[in-house]
Amino acid sequence: MEFIHVPVLLDEVINGLNINPCGTYVDCTIGGGGHSSEILKRLSSRGTLIGFDRDIDAVKVCEEKFADFENVKIFHSNYNDACEILKANNINNVDGILIDLGVSSYQLDNAERGFSFMHNGRLDMRMDTSQKLDAYYVVNNYPKERLLKILYQYGEEENAKKIVDNICKMRNIKPIETTFELKEIIENSFSKKIIYGKGGVSKKTFQAIRIEVNNELNNLRETLYNLIDLLKHGGRFAVITFHSLEDRIVKNVFKDVSTGCICPPKTPICICGHKEKAILINKKPIIATQEEIRKNSRSSSAKLRILEKI
């Protein structure tokens, strides 16, 4: 299957990064190279584009796509390790950083990757297919209490107890092997009368399991702080999120680094030592236009936040 991913909020990201033609830009989740291609168009031969992705398929596609560019470097790595890798390559300051925290269209539409309840395939959900932990193991081997915690914490699923009870009943009979088998169990955990938002009743459970498999939220906060420190004065940081858990972390980190003194209001002098490191380019998240949503429905939940280092 061809690696195709429609970049969301493309114009908003490119405009928000305020690209310096001679600058160094990092795409921490390069995917199919959609955002990176537009960044590269705006760079001169003196500019540099550095890409990271934990999906080896994405890395291979972009290595081929950008093979003719000497100013492009691509690493097969999780964005959590981006700072360490950049510094190991003597890159200590950059002009712009992008993280797109969404799952690519290729991953969702490729049944073999086992991400989506819309396509039947073996339960997998690994962004990095070299790792051992997959959705099959989580669903069939995690203790009931741990599964329940994941669905509540990562899926914010109110019906988690019934879903987990039914998962445990089924896996005691036979392993739950495919996305459609899991989808059926989830759907049977709800009253047929319930209308459950976009994506149906399976969306939150699949999201929760995917987050657990890929360890998506752990270390995100620390990574954001580290990447902000890597920015030059005037450098821009753009982050795209697709669900409230991610967005809450990004919002709080951006708020923290864009805030000065945090002493109680009646404190006569500042004793906290907290200094403002950045300014918010947009105080409220940028969302997709109706036109973009019409062309790409997956952009409907996207939120873009941008800050500038000072």
This prediction has a pTM of 0.89
Sign of the torsion formed by the C-alpha atoms of 198, 148, 156 and 290: negative
Digit-coded pLDDT (tens) for 131-159: 999 999 999 999 999 999 999 999 999 99
Q: Report residue 231: phi and psi, to 5°.
A: -70, 145
Cβ-contact 285, 254 below 8 angstroms: no
pLDDT band per the 50, 70, 90 thresholds, residue 4: low
pLDDT band per the 50, 70, 90 thresholds, residue 3: low
Lowest mean pLDDT among 107-111, 163-167, 170-174, 279-283: 107-111
- 8-state DSSP, 301: G
Structural domains of the chain in order of their starting residue, each with its CATH number: 10-101+218-309 (3.40.50.150), 114-214 (1.10.150.170)
Pairing of strands 278-280, 303-309: antiparallel
Per-residue pLDDT at 272: 83
Beta strand spans in 138-295 (E): 231-241, 278-280, 286-287
Task: Compute the average pLDDT of residues 169-179.
Answer: 97
Q: Above 70 in pLDDT, residue 5?
A: no
Helical axes 160-173 vs 179-187, angle rounded to 10°: 130
Per-residue pLDDT at 200: 84
Q: Above 70 in pLDDT, residue 16?
A: yes
